[in-house]
Chains A and B, each alone.
Chain A
Amino acid sequence: MKKIYVIAIVMIAAAIVLLTTAAEDMSTYATFTDASRSGERVKIAGQLSKDKEMYYNPQEDPNYFSFYIRDTKGDERKVVLLSEKPQDFELSEQIVLTGQMKGDEFVATDMLLKCPSKYKDEEVYIREEAK
């Protein structure tokens, strides 16, 4: 047998092993219920509950920002992000959080915001009246 075939077989075997182990790193977007049940680190996608309190007071803790989101099943929970409050947070259409449930709160270490595209409102490009 040619050496190249041996190598090819080794690499394919390695690829299969890697793919099976990589599956552990992947998951579907979880809901709060899933997250409480498994207790593992998960990604949750949801929408900001704009009527609920958003709390960030750096004087107390610059790494504590809390707010409420509704997950895809409509379940609303409190989220604690261990970081500062990002700009444009209120405008976000969708929020993707990485973290885990701790008691009733979802403690997130990473957050991705999806913001609406800029060109929705006419006001955006109408010149402001001269001051």
Chain B
Amino acid sequence: MQEIQYVGEHLWPGRIGQFAIILGFVASLLAAAAYFFATQRRHLPEAGQWIQMGRGAFLVHTFSVFAVIGAIFYAMAMQYFEYQYVQAHVSEELPMKYIFSAFWEGQEGSFLLWMFWHVVLGLVLMAGGRQWEAPTLSVLSMIQMIIGSMILGIYLGFGDDPMRIGSNPLMLLREVMDAPIFASADYVSQIKGNGLNPLLQNYWMTIHPPTLFLGFASTAIPFSYAIAGLWMKEHKAWLKPAQRWALFSGAILGTGILMGGAWAYEALSFGGYWAWDPVENMSLVPWLILIAGIHTNLIASNTGHSIRSTYIYYLLTFIFIVYSTFLTRSGVLGDTSVHAFTEMGLEWQLIGFIAFSVLLSAIMLGIRYKGIPSPAKEEPTGSREFWMFIGSLVLLFSSLIITASTSLPVYNKIMQLFNPLFEGRVITDPVPHYNKYQIWIAVFIGLLSGSAQYLRYREFNFAGYARRFGLHAGIALALSGLLTYLTTRWIDANAWQYLTLLFFGWFTIIANADYLITFVRGNLKQAGSVTAHIGFGLMIVGILASGLNQRVISKNLFVMDGLIEGASDEQMRRNIILFKGSPMAMGDYEVAYTGDTIDDFTRTFTVHYKKRNQAGEVVESFDLHPNILYDKSFTKVAASNPSTKRYWDRDIFTHIASLPQVEIDMEYRRKREDSLNYRILQALAGETIAFSDTVPLRGLDTFMVKEYRAAVLEVDRAPAHPDYKPEDGDIAIGATVQIARSDEDSIFTVHPVLVLRGQVLYSYPAQINELSARVRLNEQVFDAVFTPETELDYQAFTFRQGDEVSLDGYRIQFAGFNRQPRHPNYQPGEDDIAVSGMMNVQAPDGKSYTAQPVYLIRDSRPFNLKDEIPELGMHFRFTGIDPATESIEMMIARTEPKPLQIPFEVATNSLRSDYIVLEAIEFPGINLFWLGSSFMMLGLLLSLFVRAKGREQKA
């Protein structure tokens, strides 16, 4: 086959990128090996050289990762659609601000984002890791090598089905796809980009993935430290640096997860911040284990207990990050998740990644387990470390049961390997399923994080302390009871499980606040933990308030009465129809759809909320602006973005669930318009006519006869219509038409417009939604209004300024030039020379009229635009100027004015199009959720800050 010489391809970013991918892969291998030897031979003089080599290799790796990312970005920014990745994620219309989002929309880009953060964190380790640099970077480089292999895109093996390693983001479209278009050498000029999914075109997509991936990447550092500690048998020394990194990781990963929730709540129409989607679950699980690890790490630093558990937790955290990557990227989740990636053929590589992390952890732990110091004496029952350890087990337990349920598709796949007939199992209603177990985890954590704060490390004399403990815990319990009662005055917690949780949520808040005041007293080291635990309690109260009392005000229902039982059918009916201008009562509000505007592809609706007091006076009113985004062809809604009114104690969330079909699909609207049954009517200006129409009733074999009255009030030669944008040379006619049902009093006035542009007729009908009627002008209206030029008998006149002539008894005077002429059909051009002649006409009956025909020179060619005095049937054309004599040439014609018979058309079977289908939900106390969860992250950061300071002072 002959090789095609393609034109217009830009191959060099691809070549640079491909080379950098290979170089980066090899460099990570080298770095891993060099750092491995640097660790193994750390007591030998050659260690320094190995470290130098490791650094060099890691720096080359860093450079390569940057180069790959740079090459892809360059190709994206330049819109080189010949690259498959660019074609899939960028389009010509995509604003540059979304280029980052487009970059990490795909699997390969997000792998690169992950690698990018590993590299950055690796550089920090290199700069400040001291004796830990070599072992941790050896582990990190190995991880980088594995992730790097996911984007290698090389084929191993021979024959028809070679094994592919990785999916290369710099492949050309024609290399990954076989299509007839690639037979043409200039295919590049014929392709366009697919663009970023409109749902992802918002700022959350810019900030959420980098934060989450920094969180993912940062879990590799405690993992590396754990391996390093085991490797070098430094079972105590690794704890401190690992703790700082774990705190950092906990804060960032937690923030990343929360941002996902905030995104779902604020920008997507999910109507909530957490849905127990597998992808969400599998980012939460590593975080829970990490938090468990931070707690045992604290125990280990303070008492020497729990070093083994700390190792296990940090190792597990990363293992679960890898497992989560497998679940979300292998396609195994299939139809159980709304936002998993689709299959890419990386399953086996991802399984290999899991195997690597599990085996490395298990082997290292197995070899060293016996040697890990562990005090012979058990933790005393009254000590803080004992209960903290229990707490960490509860967290682990929680994460394991979440994982078990989420892994159901994996279990199904495995079973099907053995028994192809095995029918996969699914969780029928996931949300109540998870809630009903996790509610008890939360109760335990609330109890433990409240009471354990009062306990002391290494408590050997609990009996002596019991009184004080009992006093504080007792007061905290009593106060929590009171606050729980008060909370139920505000929100409903209609089952004992919820009340229990609410109680322990308050308990942890009170106990920690008490602990802060009476025990901590400015000891910053504890402030972080207190902040985080208070945050946890607040979050629990917020979840209960916003979850249990979430109220779909568009239906006046409490939807989530069944947080753990599931919702009933009636509770699922959440939408309401809102006709423009007709307010509806929703919750405490009177809600009206007042209007909408369209800008490019975004249509923004104004929904007006009004609250009245008992006397009927408006005490509060506000507008919400939910919008929808049309797809490029205007045939469907690509995204619906909610709008939320925020109060300190609740949110009102509003989103457009649906629109009339004619407003969603412009194709359908056109078809619908064509299928309308228009009746042609004719009326003299000012005359009222009557007509009737028969309407078939849906589902019945009967018809209804409707009687109407209609009148044309006036004709407008420079009409306006919301959809009509005047252009040069348009001939436009508008009419004011009134229509009413004969048996009703309301009269509807509309302004249909008809435009002749060149040879094409554009009709701009007017809709009367209340009558389901549509009115448009019949094309005969041009003949009725305009006298055809062929019927006009023009006479030429020459005028100087002030000259006057007489025609059929009319006195016509040329009053002068207007150098800024205005004419309905004239749009001034930049280089136009345009002037109009001001013609005054006096009729025999003494009335005066004016006309202003235009004469213009555009592109050195003369044009004239006629003007007309319809009342007199007088037509003017300004055809020339003679500068020598300062005179003008004017063509004037006159016909007898005829009575204006205006033909127009009415269809009474049009659909209403003036409504929105709306969902509005009230979330009480949701700010407690955000506040509480932010406190948790703040607490982690505060702890990190205090510990990082401690390190500096020591150094």
Contact = CB atoms under 8 A, between A and B. Distances in A.
Q: Decide whether A and B assemble into one complex.
A: yes
Interface of A: 2-4, 7, 11, 14-15, 18-19, 22, 25-29, 41-43, 45, 56, 58-59, 62-63, 82-85, 87-88, 94, 96, 98, 107, 109-110, 112, 114, 117-119, 122, 124-128
Interface pairs A-B: 7 shortest CB-CB: A63-B573, A84-B658, A62-B575, A109-B572, A28-B423, A25-B433, A127-B192
A117 B675 CA distance: 34
B787 interface: no
B406 to A, nearest CB: 12
B405 A58 contact: no
Contact of B401 (A15, A85, A118, A128): A15
A22 B194 contact: no
A108 to B, nearest CB: 9
B358 interface: no
Given A25-B428, A28-B424, A124 B915 contact: no
A126 B181 contact: yes
Interface residue tally on B, bucketed by range: 35 or more
A98 B567 CA distance: 12
24 contacts: A7-B393, A11-B397, A26-B408, A27-B425, A27-B426, A41-B428, A41-B429, A58-B577, A82-B569, A83-B574, A83-B575, A84-B917, A85-B658, A88-B636, A98-B429, A114-B334, A119-B88, A119-B177, A122-B179, A122-B180, A126-B181, A127-B189, A127-B190, A127-B192
A124 B88 CA distance: 10
A26 B191 contact: no
A124 B335 contact: no
Contacts of A87: 636-638, 664
Contacts of B81: 125
A84 B572 contact: no
Contacts of B426: 26-29, 43
A96 B424 CA distance: 14
A85 B180 CA distance: 36
Contact of B428 (A3, A14, A26, A112): A26
Interface in B627-642: 636-638
Given A82-B572, A96-B335, A118 B181 contact: no
B660 interface: yes
Contacts of B912: 59
Contact of B577 (A25, A41, A59): A59
Contacts of B433: 22, 25
Pick from B173, B189, B426 the residue with the most CB of A within 10 Å: B426
A98 to B, nearest CB: 6
A41 to B, nearest CB: 6
B427 interface: yes
B572 A19 contact: no
B795 interface: no
B53 interface: no
Contact of A84 (B88, B173, B381, B657): B657
Interface string B659-673: 010001000000000
A104 B651 CA distance: 40
A45 B426 CA distance: 11
B228 to A, nearest CB: 27
Nearest to A91: B636
Interface string B910-945: 001001010000000000000000000000000000
Nearest to A113: B335
A79 to B, nearest CB: 13
Interface string B375-411: 0001101000010001001000100110011001000
A112 B393 CA distance: 35
B378 A2 contact: yes
Contact of A26 (B400, B427, B577, B638): B427
Contacts of B437: 18, 22
A110 B270 CA distance: 12
B165 interface: no
B427 A125 contact: no
